[in-house]
Amino acid sequence: MYRILKSDLPKLYAAISAKNDLLLPVKTAGKTNFALWTEDAVVDIEALKTVKSPKDAFFPQSENLYTCGKVDGKTTITEEERCNAPFVVFGIKGCDVRAIAVLDKVFLSEPVDSYYASRREHGVIVSMACNRPETSCFCGAFGIDCAQPEGDVVTWQAGEYLYWQPMTEKGEVLTQQVAEFLSACEDAPVNEAMEQIRAICNKLPLKDLDLSAWGAEAAQKNFDSPIWEQLYKPCLACGTCTFVCPTCQCYDIKDYNTGNGVQRYRCWDSCMYSDFTMMAHGNNRNSQMQRFRQRFMHKLAYFPANNDGMFSCVGCGRCVDSCPAHLNIVKVIKAFGKGEK
pLDDT in tens, 143-168: 999 999 999 999 999 999 999 999 99
Q: What element of type H or E holds 155?
A: strand 153-158
Q: 169-177 and 9-19 helices cross at what angle (nearest 10)?
A: 110
Residues 14, 250: Cα–Cα separation, whole Å: 35
Same domain for 148 and 20: yes
Task: Choose among 130, 291, 311: nearest CA to 209.
Answer: 311
Q: What pLDDT is recorded for position 45?
A: 95
> For the chain, how many structural domains are there in total?
2
pLDDT at 277: 72
Query: What are 90-144's pLDDT values in tens digits?
Result: 999 999 999 999 999 999 999 999 999 999 999 999 999 998 899 999 999 999 9
Looking at the fold, whether 167 and 142 belong to one and the same domain comes out as yes
- b/e sequence 100-134, b meaning 16+ C-beta within 10 Å: bebbebbbeeeeebebbbbbbebbbbbbbbbbebe
Domain carrying residue 6: 2-60+82-201
Is the per-residue pLDDT at 341 higher than 50? no
Residue 245: inside a domain, yes or no?
Answer: yes
Does residue 281 carry a pLDDT above 70? Answer: no
Question: To the nearest whole percent, how much of the chain has pLDDT over 90?
Answer: 84
Q: Model-level pTM?
A: 0.92
206-229 average pLDDT score:
92
DSSP codes joined into one string, 205-233: TTTT---TT-SGGGHHHHHT-THHHHHST
Contact 237, 327 (CB under 8 A): no
190 and 221, same domain (yes or no): no
178 and 221: one domain?
Answer: no
Domain end marker among 201, 233, 258: 201
Are 171 and 235 members of one domain?
no
What pLDDT score was predicted for residue 283?
63
Mean pLDDT of 64-91: 92
Mean pLDDT of the chain: 93
To the nearest 5 percent, what fractions of the chain are helix, strand and coil?
Answer: 35, 25, 40
- 67 DSSP β-pair partners: 78, 263
For residues 275 and 241, the model is more confident at 241
Indicate whether 114 and 158 sit together in one domain: yes
Based on its alpha-carbon atoms, the radius of gyration of the chain, rounded to whole angstroms, reads 22
